[in-house]
Amino acid sequence: MLDLDRQRTSSMAPSLKPSVIVIGGGEDKVQDRKILRAFVEAAGGATARIAIVPSASREPEIIGNIYRDIFRSLGAEAIDVWDIRERDRRTLSEAEVVVDGVTGVFMTGGDQLRLCSMIGDTPLFHTVRERVWQGQLVLAGTSAGAAAMGHNMIAGGGSSEAPHKDIVSMSVGLGILPEVVVDQHFHNRNRMARLMTAIAAHPDRLGVGVDEDTAAIFEDARLLRVLGRGTVTVVDPGEVSYSNQFWVNSTTPLTIHNLRVHILSEGSAYHLLKRIPISPGV
């Protein structure tokens, strides 16, 4: 599970740094800023060169400046804002010049469909993705930036209802974590039912629901660690023995048997290949 293309993973340069940080939104920006600080440290600390992508936001200039000030105060060496408001048209060679020297990319919140329409399947993002997979760059996304991490992306939907097809709408994400479906603001907005519904439709994926001010840190293709004040929920359909998802109508409640759910708080981890939780301190 989650080998992110095993040939790429096997050639990845050894590194203790996390390559992908998935933040559930609402991260602390004022007090200890634990998650944002962890991103800066993973990107190199005092030598970090960070690019902010505020394209998901309706106010990209304001949001970009907010995070620029935060990362500057956390000691990053250089911060740039990629203020992309139309679909990025750079060629591959131009994209490589833009990305060269960048050690961390941070995607802000907003609308994940807007974000993907601006940068999805572009030379710029292909360059970013390849460098993430090669261990050369740390990528973080919060809220919409988190939702876009998978290939199958939750684009919207309801909450506080029984699982049924109409509770979730799906689209194509950025494919950074192609075997994961991410939902954010998770327990804060009662999104368990919609993540279960998404996973019922995509039983070859792993569901990851991330609470606010919480991060699921993918250290490589094998391990997910939890940081922050909330929880990360892992929904694993690997042993599902029955589901009516494929033949019921859009409003009929789903039946799913033997769906495995793990709730992980800070200090816990999850082995993505073995599909087992790892207790704190182990």
Quickly list DSSP for 197-245: HHHHH-TTSEEEEE-TTEEEEE-SSSEEEEEESSEEEEEE-TT--EE-T
Per-residue three-class SS string for 15-76:
CCCCCEEEECCCCCCCCCCHHHHHHHHHCCHHHCEEEEECCCCCCHHHHHHHHHHHHHHCCC
30 Cβ contact list (under 8 Å, min separation 6): none
Does residue 244 come out as left (phi exceeding 0), alpha (psi in the -120 to 50 range) or beta? alpha
Catalytically active residues are 143, 161, 185
Q: Is 276 exposed, middle or buried (0-12, 13-18, 19+ CB in 10 A)?
A: exposed
Q: Report residue 61 CA to chain centroid gap.
A: 22
Structure-token match 């939104």, residue found: 25
Give the span between the Cα atoms of 220 and 1, in whole angstroms: 12
- In 3-state terms, the chain is what percent helix, strand and coil (to 5)? 30, 25, 45
35 Cβ contact list (under 8 Å, min separation 6): 21, 23, 27, 28, 213, 214, 215, 227, 228
